[in-house]
Amino acid sequence: MKFDTTFWMKLSQIDRRWIFLVIAITVALPMVLGIDFTAVPAPMVEKVFQTIQRLPAGSKVLISYDYGPSTVPENQPMADALVFHLLSKDCKVYMMAVWATGERQSQYTIDHIVKPSFPNKEYGVDYIDLGFKAGGTGLINMLFTSVKRMYTTDRTGNDIQSFPMMSDIETLKNFDMILSISSGAPGLKEWIQFAGDRGNIPVAGGVTAVQATELFPYYPRQMFGLMAGLQGAAEYESLVIHMYPKFFQHRSALRKMAPQTVAHLAIIAFVIIGNIAYFMTRKK
């Protein structure tokens, strides 16, 4: 018993760098082994997919890239899968960003998803990248009354009036759906508050896992669906792959689910061991 207590005492005082090392190994090992997992879609994710699935061809969908490099592993797969799905359904995709770092991310989707998978889709006719504008909620408020006063050009500096798909866009109400992929404020929450609720525009999207729980209260009345974190992205990817198998090559979140799962188990193990150590040493 004395030995046990000493052992647990030592364990509870272990140098945190050992914990760091264990986390690094649990994340790296499944990645190196390249294990692929599937994901069972949660109802909120399924709802996003089904709602888009029901959109008629030609529907106008705004997708806002409200994140930056720090959350790319969670957010980029969501944006890529959504754009792939929307273009597969022949919807018109309007990309923009409320975050200054979002521009590079929409560029990534165009270069890695749109151009290779949809060579026949034409820029300005089937999809457009409006880019970033400053203002945050002020920008959303402005777009609610006038899109073209703010976006006089697209991201590349071409006149907005020169694009056919912009001819019937005056305000946010002209969009059939708004999707926000976000990792903070301004993001999906602000799109719900300043656009969805105000103009009765269907809003949904994907957020980082940190942000997810605080968005649940908007479901289903104010937000028709939600992808929460990497798991949400993986679930959406599996739905898209099921419907459009050629998306399989673009899957990114699904590839990360194995290390993610192992890391979760490691964290749970840490909590359990930490608690055992606490109770064992407290007795003395």
Residues 198-227 that bind other proteins (CB under 8 A): 198, 208-210, 212-214, 216-219, 221-222
Kindly provide the b/e burial profile for residues 46-58, where b requires at least 16 CB atoms within 10 angstroms of the residue's own CB: bbbbeebeebeee
Among residues 5, 46, 51, 136, which is the contact residue for other proteins, using CB under 8 A?
136
187 binds other proteins (CB under 8 A): no
Cβ contacts of 188 within 8 Å, gap of 6 or more = 66, 180, 181, 182, 203, 205, 206, 207, 211, 215, 223, 226
| Mask for 75-114, x = binds other proteins (CB under 8 A) | -------------------------x--xx--x-------
119 within 8 A of 149, measured Cβ to Cβ? no
Residue closer to other proteins by CB (options 7, 20) is 20
Rg of the chain taking only CA atoms, in angstroms:
22
Which span sits near other proteins by CB under 8 A: 64-72, 86-94, 112-120, 173-181? 64-72
C-alpha torsion angle, residues 17, 33, 263, 246 (rounded to 10): 140
Binding-site size, other proteins (CB under 8 A):
92
Residue closer to other proteins by CB (options 118, 219) is 219
Among residues 5, 59, 72, 110, which is the contact residue for other proteins, using CB under 8 A?
72
9-28 residues in contact with other proteins (CB under 8 A) are 12, 14, 16-17, 19-20, 22-24, 27-28
Residue closer to other proteins by CB (options 125, 265) is 265
| Mask for 137-176, x = binds other proteins (CB under 8 A) | xxx-xx--xx--xx-xx-xxxxx-xx--------------
Among residues 4, 43, 58, 246, which is the contact residue for other proteins, using CB under 8 A?
43
54 within 8 A of 224, measured Cβ to Cβ? no
Residue closer to other proteins by CB (options 26, 117) is 26
**CB-count exposure of residue 94 (10 Å: 0-12, 13-18, 19+):** buried
Which span sits near other proteins by CB under 8 A: 47-55, 82-90, 173-181, 189-197? 189-197
73 binds other proteins (CB under 8 A): yes
42 binds other proteins (CB under 8 A): yes
| Mask for 235-274, x = binds other proteins (CB under 8 A) | ---------------------xx-xxx-xxxxxx-xx-xx
